[in-house]
Amino acid sequence: MSEYIQLFIVFAKVGVMTFGGGYAMLPILRREIVEKRSWAEEDELLDYFAIGQCTPGIIAVNTATFIGCKRKGVLGGIVATLGVVFPSVVIIMIIAAFLQSFADNQTIKYAFCGIRVCVCVLIFDAVSKLWKKAVVDRPTLLLFCAVLLLSLFTSLPVVLLVILSGIAGAVYKSVKGGGGK
C-alpha cells in the first residue's frame, strides 16, 4: 500500500507545482520520475509525453496514468492520475469561491503576467532538454524541421504528425539497417 501512497504523493507534488499545463510540468516530472526515483528512463518519459500529446485528455493526466500503470498496473495508473489532478481540483475550487472578489485586481493581473513568463521559461527548458535527447543527427534534425514547418503552416492534427514521425523514424532505421541508436 505504501507504494500507492508514494505514487499519489509524488504526482500530487507534480500537480501542485505545475502552472501552465503539461509542457510546463516536464522539467518537474523529469526531476521527480527520472532523476530522483528512476521510475522511468528519460526516453521513456519522452515517449509517454508524445503518446499523451496525441491521445484524448490532458498531457499531465495521461503521462501520470502511463507511469502509474508501469509502476503498479491499472490501480497504480488510477492512483497517479488522482494524485496529479487532486491539487488542481482543490486550487480551482478555492479560486472559484473567491474569483469575483479579485478578478479585476490589477496586482493579480500583473502576477499572472509574471507567471506566464515563468511558464514560458519552464517550457523552453523542457524543449531544450528534449532537443538534446531527440535531435541527435542530421535525419532527426530534418524530421524536426519538417514537423515544425507542418505544425506551423498546416492544420494537420497532432496525432497525424506523431504517426507520420513514427513511420519516418521506422523507415529510416530499417533502411539504415540499425535497430539501435
Please name the amino acid found at residue 57: G
User: Which residue range forms the structural domain that includes residue 178?
Assistant: 136-181
| Domains of the chain: total | 2
Instruction: State how far the Cα of 82 lies from the Cα of 47, in Å rounded to an integer.
Output: 21
Are 94 and 9 found together in one domain? yes
pLDDT in tens, 120-133: 888 888 888 888 88
**160 shares a domain with 124:** no
- Looking at the structure, tell me whether residues 67 and 149 fall in a common domain: no
User: Of residues 76 and 129, which shows the higher confidence score?
Assistant: 76
Q: Which amino acid is at 74?
A: V
Residue that the C-alpha cell 499531465 belongs to: 60
43 lies in the same domain as 102: yes
79 and 6 co-located in one domain: yes
Do 91 and 52 sit in the same domain of this protein? yes
**170/153 Cα distance (integer angstroms):** 25
Of 134, 151, 173, the residue at which a domain comes to its end is 134
Is pLDDT at 22 greater than 70 in this prediction? no
- Note the pLDDT tens digit of each residue in 128-176: 888 888 899 999 999 999 999 999 999 999 889 989 999 998 998 888 8
